[in-house]
Amino acid sequence: MLTTKSAGNAYDVALENFDAAADALQLDNDTREMIKYPERVLTVTVPVRMDDGHIRRFEAYRVQHSSVRGPAKGGIRYHPQVTLDEVKALATWMTWKCAVVNIPFGGAKGGITCDPKHMSLGELERMTRRYTSAILPLIGPEQDIPAPDVYTNSQTMAWIMDTYSMTKGYPIPGVVTGKPISLGGSLGRNEATGRGVFYTIQSACDHLLMSLKGATVVVQGFGNAGSIAAQLLYEAGAKVIAVSDSTGCVYNPHGLDIHNLMHLKALTGKVAGFPEAESIRPEELLALECDVLIPAALENTIHAENAGAVRARIIAEAANGPLTPAADRILEAKGVFIIPDILCNAGGVTVSYFEWVQDEQHLFWEAQDVYNRLERVMKTSFRDVLKIHEERPAPMRLAANMLGVGRVAEAVKLRGIYP
Ligand code: NAD
C-alpha cells in the first residue's frame, strides 16, 4: 500500500485551526471553553466471530463534537490507521463544516480500526451490526446521524439502519444517511461530495478568471469523492492528467478518459494498469504542474516535506485535513488558491441533510431538485467564505473556520449554559 499520511496528529491540526479562527474572531474564553472540545467521546470493544471460527476484537469510536446547532452528524470510517484522535479531529471539522453550509446539524464522527480490504462481507456485516449495538445509546435521527466515510458505503448504512430499527421495533430510516435509495436514501447522495467539490472548483475558477474547459486536473484518491469530482470535471471539458488510488498512480499529459478509468476501477478495484497511461510514483503525482490539484484520500498527505514541490494553481480539498498547517503556510506563500475541506467537501453532508429531511417528511425529491439545491448551497457558502477572505483579508481556510466557528459561537451564546 502507498504511504498515505505523515506522522502529524490530525486532532492537533483541528485544535490549531480552531484557535486561529477564535483569535481572529476575538472570541471570549467562556465561549471557547464551550465549543472547542467534543461533548461526548465513546470507545467501544467490538468482538466479531471471523469466518475461520475465532473471535477477533476491534477497537471502535463514536465522537460527538457538538450538538449546539442541531443533532450531531458525521460519517463512519473503517481503516487500519483509525485512532481516537483522528476521529476527534474529523468530528470537530464536521461541526464547523455544517455551520459553513448553514445546515442545522452539529458534528460527529465514528471509526473502527480494522482492515476492511481483508475482511469478508459476512465479517464486515457482523462487525457493523455489533458496532451499531455498542453505539446505540448515542445515535438516532434526532441525536446523532452516521453516514459513509472512507471504506464504508450504502451497504454499511443499510446494516446500521436495520440493526437500529430491529432494536426499536419499527423502521427508522432517518438514523443514517447515505443509505440505498430503496431504504429511504436520497437521489444524488452517492455523488454529492464529488459534485460539491466540482461546484466549488467552478466558483474558484470564476473568481480567478480561469476557464474550466481545458484546465488540467490531478486527483489523489480515486474513491467516492475523488472519482465523481474527476468525472464531472472531465465532462465539463477539463483535462484530468493524473489520478491515483492506494494501488498506484496513472498519468497521461493529454488527459485520461475518466469514464473508462471508472469502469476499470469498478471491475478491478484499481486504477493501476490503465492502458494509455504511464505509471508514476505518488510524489511525482503531487508535483505535477496543473491548474487544479484535488487531494481526495486521507489527511496529512501534503506536508512540510512535499508541499514545496506542488505546482498547482488551485487545491480543492475533497479529503478532510489533507494539508498540514506547515504545508498550508508553504502553499499560501506560493500563492496557491486553497478551497478548504470544510467548504470544498461539504456537499456530502449537505445532501445527507436533504436525505434526512426527506426521511422525516416521507416525501422524496427528484435528482435535479437535489442538484439544484446543492449547487445553491455550495455556491452561496463559497461566496460567504470568499467575502471574509477578501474583506478581512484572511487565507481561505481561516475565513472558512471563522464563518463556521462564528456561527456555532453565536448559537451557544444564545442557548447559554445549562444548568
Ligand atoms: P473512499 O473509500 O471511497 O475512497 C478513498 C480512496 O482513496 C480510495 O480509492 C483509496 O484507494 C484511495 N487512497 C487511499 N490511500 C491512498 C494513497 N495513499 N494515495 C492515493 N490514494 C489513496 O473514500 P471517500 O468517501 O471518497 O473519502 C475520501 C476522503 O474524502 C476522506 O478524507 C473523507 O473523509 C472525505 N470525505 C468523504 C465524504 C463522502 O461523502 N464520502 C464526504 C466528505 C469528505
Which residue's alpha carbon is at the smallest distance from atom 9 of ligand 1?
A: 223
Which residue's alpha carbon is at the smallest distance from atom 20 of ligand 1?
A: 245
pLDDT at site 276: 86
Which residue's alpha carbon is at the smallest distance from atom 17 of ligand 1?
A: 246
**Residue pLDDT, tens place only, 33-45:** 999 999 999 999 9
CA distance 146 to 9: 23
Output the CA torsion sign for 194, 195, 200, 206: positive
Averaged confidence pLDDT in the chain: 96
Q: In the chain, what percentage of residues exceed pLDDT 90?
A: 97
The three-state secondary structure class of 188 is coil
The answer to whether residue 349 scores a pLDDT higher than 50 is yes
**Residue pLDDT, tens place only, 396-412:** 999 999 999 999 999 99
Q: What share of the chain is helix, strand, coil (3-state, %, to 5)?
A: 45, 20, 35
CA distance 363 to 342: 29
Number of independent structural domains in the chain: 1
pLDDT at site 5: 45
Cα of 117 from ligand 1 centre, angstroms: 14
Question: In terms of Cα–Cα distance, which of 163, 162, 158 is closest to 147?
Answer: 158
* 314 found inside a domain: no
C-alpha cell at 349: 453532508
Residue-wise over 175-199: b if at least 16 C-beta within 10 A, else e? bbbbbeeebbbbbbbbbbbbbbbbb
Count Cα atoms within 13 angstroms, Cβ side, for 91. 32
Per the listing, cell 443499510 goes with: 158
C-alpha cell at 360: 422525516
| Cis, peptide link before residue 47, omega less than 30° from 0 | no
**Residue pLDDT, tens place only, 96-155:** 999 999 999 999 999 999 999 999 999 999 999 999 999 999 999 999 999 999 999 999
Which residue's alpha carbon is at the smallest distance from atom 5 of ligand 1?
A: 223
Q: Given strand 311-316, what is the order of strands in its sheet?
A: 278-280, 248-251, 239-245, 216-220, 289-295, 311-316, 337-339
Q: Which H or E element spans position 43?
A: strand 40-49
Cα of 150 from ligand 1 centre, angstroms: 5
Cα of 298 from ligand 1 centre, angstroms: 6
Q: Which positions ≥6 away from 176 have C-beta within 8 Å? A: 145, 146, 147, 157, 160, 161, 164
Mutate to test the pocket of ligand 1, among 76, 82, 96, 298 (most ligand atoms within 8 A of CB): 298
What are the phi and psi torsion angles at 241 (to 5°)?
-90, -20
* 299 found inside a domain: no
| Cβ atoms of 343 and 382 closer than 8 Å | yes
* pTM for the structure as a whole: 0.96
* 93 found inside a domain: yes
pLDDT at site 112: 98
Q: Which H or E element spans position 23?
A: helix 10-25
Cα of 244 from ligand 1 centre, angstroms: 11
Which residue's alpha carbon is at the smallest distance from atom 41 of ligand 1?
A: 149
C-alpha cell at 350: 449537505
pLDDT at site 3: 40
Q: What is the CATH number of the domain that holds 59?
A: 3.40.50.10860
Which domain covers residue 109, as residue numbers? Answer: 36-183
Mean pLDDT over 79-94 rounds to 98
The catalytic site residues sit at: 109
Which residue's alpha carbon is at the smallest distance from atom 18 of ligand 1?
A: 4
Q: Given strand 72-79, what is the order of strands in its sheet?
A: 40-49, 55-66, 107-113, 72-79, 144-148
C-alpha 169, offset from chain centre: 32
* 245 found inside a domain: no
* 135 found inside a domain: yes
Residue-wise over 300-315: b if at least 16 C-beta within 10 A, else e? bbbbeebbeebebbbb
Atom of ligand 1 nearest to the CA of 222: 9
Q: Which positions ≥6 away from 183 have C-beta within 8 Å? A: 158, 161, 173
The answer to whether residue 6 scores a pLDDT higher than 60 is no
CA distance 346 to 342: 6
Output the CA torsion sign for 201, 230, 378, 26: negative
Which residues line ligand 1 at a C-beta cut-off of 6 Å? 2, 4, 148-151, 193, 220-226, 244-246, 282, 296-298, 318-320, 345, 348
The three-state secondary structure class of 127 is helix
Strands in 50-190 per DSSP E = 55-66, 72-79, 107-113, 144-148
Per the listing, cell 475461520 goes with: 52
| Cβ atoms of 395 and 332 closer than 8 Å | yes
Cα of 157 from ligand 1 centre, angstroms: 17
* 280 found inside a domain: no
* 85 found inside a domain: yes
CA distance 240 to 198: 13
* 376 found inside a domain: no
**Residue pLDDT, tens place only, 160-219:** 999 999 999 999 999 999 999 999 999 999 999 999 999 999 999 999 999 999 999 999
CA distance 385 to 85: 27
CA distance 138 to 174: 14
Mutate to test the pocket of ligand 1, among 13, 152, 245 (most ligand atoms within 8 A of CB): 245
Mean pLDDT over 47-70 rounds to 98
Atom of ligand 1 nearest to the CA of 225: 26
Cα of 224 from ligand 1 centre, angstroms: 7
Cα of 63 from ligand 1 centre, angstroms: 20
The answer to whether residue 380 scores a pLDDT higher than 90 is yes
Per the listing, cell 468525472 goes with: 231
**Residue pLDDT, tens place only, 246-292:** 999 999 999 999 999 999 999 999 999 999 899 999 999 999 999 99
Which residue's alpha carbon is at the smallest distance from atom 4 of ligand 1?
A: 223
